[in-house]
Amino acid sequence: MNQFRVYCPFIGPFDPCPPIREKVYSTPPNLFLGFQPPGLPQFNAHEALKLGTLWPALYSPYPGKQT
Amino acid sequence: MEEQYYAMLHELQAVDFVLVELNLYLDTHPWDTMALQQFNEMAQKRQFLAAQFEQCYGPLLNFGHSASPHGWRWAMPPWPWQV
């Protein structure tokens, strides 16, 4: 489930620097969740520690460098 | 240090993280009794794990937040960055 979106900034003939064709930004689930409902499913303690959150619904991984 | 040291510390760390998450959750959901019950259970479990760890390997915290029953081991190695 990829939480990243891309947009393409405008590239003009007078840009001072080399153009960046695609900008990537993250949209973690908490943007869409609003006020967290009670009773969401949970990870167990060790998984939560490893993944960085107690609730799978809010899990937002930070992927490494995709070579 | 032996394997058990790390295992107990890892367990304590996992329980602590769950407590942090539940604490932050309860800040905005004080009325959620299920989460409150889980939080209290986890707090009790954390007390037990910490006491168990301190019994074997000395105090985790100083300034009275942890007892040091077997002699003063607070200033004794191993230090956190050594393990």
Two tokens at A30?
């908490």
A53: nearest CA partner in chain B: B21
Q: Residue ranges per domain, chain B?
A: 3-82
Q: Is A46 an 8 Å CB contact of chain B?
A: yes
Place of tokens 């409150």: B36
DSSP-derived secondary structure letter, B21: H
Phi first, then psi: what are they for A26, rounded to 5°? -95, 140
Q: What is the ipTM of this complex?
A: 0.81
- H/E segment holding residue A4: strand A4-7
Q: Is A14 an 8 Å CB contact of chain B?
A: no
Mean pLDDT value across residues B36-63: 94
State how far the Cα of B15 lies from the Cα of A23, in Å rounded to an integer: 38
* Tens-place pLDDT, residues A40-56: 999 999 999 999 999 99
State how far the Cα of A22 lies from the Cα of B43, in Å rounded to an integer: 47
Tell whether A16 is covered by a domain. Answer: yes
The total number of structural domains that make up chain A: 1
- Residues B66, B69, B74, B76, CA torsion sign: negative
* Tens-place pLDDT, residues A4-34: 999 999 999 999 999 999 999 999 999 999 9
Q: Is B15 an 8 Å CB contact of chain A?
A: yes
pLDDT at B80: 84
Tell whether A36 is covered by a domain. Answer: yes
Chain-chain contact of B17 with A45 (C-beta, under 8 angstroms) = yes
Q: Is the pLDDT of residue A67 over 70?
A: no
User: Which domain, by its residues, includes A40?
Assistant: 4-58
The structure's pTM equals: 0.86
